[in-house]
Amino acid sequence: MKDLRIAAVVCNAPVGEIQSNLEKMSAYVGEASQADVDIICFPEMNITGYSNHPDMYDLAQEIPGPVSKTLRDLAGAHRCSILAGMAAKERDGNLVAVHVAAMPDGQLDIYRKCHIAPPEKKIYSPGNKIPLFRHKQSTFGIQLCYDAHFPELTTVMALQGAEIIFMPHASPRGFSVHKQQSWLRHLTARAFDNSIFIVACNQTGVNGKGLTFPGNAVVLDPAGNIIGQSLHGRETMLVVDLKAAVLDKIRNNRMHFFLPHRRPELYTN
């Protein structure tokens, strides 16, 4: 891993207001570029908005398509990687929650949400792959909201080489400080157990479909320490430097880097 400057965006993303959501995203990308950000991460479904209502079928985007081209063009123009979310239509007609990784070299990759929360299952289909992504000399994964509750997913990503996992959320209800307390019960464990950076961000405000989001963000180091957070519930861009030396220090300590000492032969069902 090399030192990276990341940005975690907290923003309002009303359902169906795709053009205005894209314009907001573009403004944040421009701001991030001015701050020399390497990777900017937006909340889950920040482009289409998040909902589990059937009308999401009408809002879902095709990839490749006009929206993914916009992401590719923005990443190239601002020389940063953009992680942004939407509902997408698969060739088989299934609706999936995806996060697109648009790289400055023109490459476009996709993470499909693997773990679908119970209220979402009547609408969304799960992804069946665990991809990793590269920015310069750093390797990262993406998990969407409910995914973060499953420890095995993070461990698999770490074993495959992930040094950072971005966790965009569309997690409603409550106040930002209470949502953050909830996150820290499991996100700190994901960071500490796997010796990785965790970057999580959430939507904020009303979505126009009956949901209100608390608007919070947190960045954790590979020891599970908070190195950046936003708790005021408003739209914001949290910028944090991820230092390679911090990762190296933990992974070079045989007592603090647990993954090499796993015994997977014991873990079968």
pLDDT tens digits along 190-205: 999 999 999 999 999 9
In a domain, 100, yes or no: yes
For residue 31, what pLDDT is reported? 97
Mean per-residue pLDDT, 84-93? 94
Please report, for the domain that includes residue 63, its CATH number.
3.60.110.10
Mean per-residue pLDDT, 202-212? 95
In a domain, 157, yes or no: yes
β-pair partners for 214: 204
DSSP per residue, 196-222: -EEEEEEBEEE-SSS-EEE--EEEE-T
Of 213, 75, 71, the closest CA to residue 145 belongs to: 213
DSSP per residue, 216-266: -EEEE-TTS-EEEEE-S-S-EEEEEEE-HHHHHHHHT-TTT--GGG--GGG
Residue 95 burial by CB count (10 A; 0-12/13-18/19+): exposed, middle or buried? middle
Please give the structure tokens belonging to residue 109.
């990759």
pLDDT in tens, 235-269: 999 999 999 999 999 999 988 899 999 999 998 87
In a domain, 101, yes or no: yes
Mean per-residue pLDDT, 216-238? 97
Number of domains composing the chain: 1
Residue 244 burial by CB count (10 A; 0-12/13-18/19+): exposed, middle or buried? middle
Mean per-residue pLDDT, 69-96? 96
pLDDT over 90 at 103, yes or no: yes
pLDDT in tens, 10-50: 999 999 999 999 999 999 999 999 999 999 999 999 999 99
The model's confidence at residue 177, banded by pLDDT at 50, 70 and 90, is very high
| Cut 0.75: pTM above it | yes
Round the average pLDDT of the chain to a whole number and report it. Answer: 96
In a domain, 268, yes or no: no
In a domain, 269, yes or no: no
CA angle, 94 as apex, 91 and 99 as ends, to 5°?
A: 85
For residue 197, what pLDDT is reported? 98
Please give the structure tokens belonging to residue 66.
């006009």
In a domain, 48, yes or no: yes
In a domain, 225, yes or no: yes
Mean per-residue pLDDT, 132-140? 95
| Domain encompassing residue 180 | 4-263
For residue 254, what pLDDT is reported? 87
Of 159, 137, 184, the closest CA to residue 251 belongs to: 159
Share of the chain above pLDDT 90, in %: 96
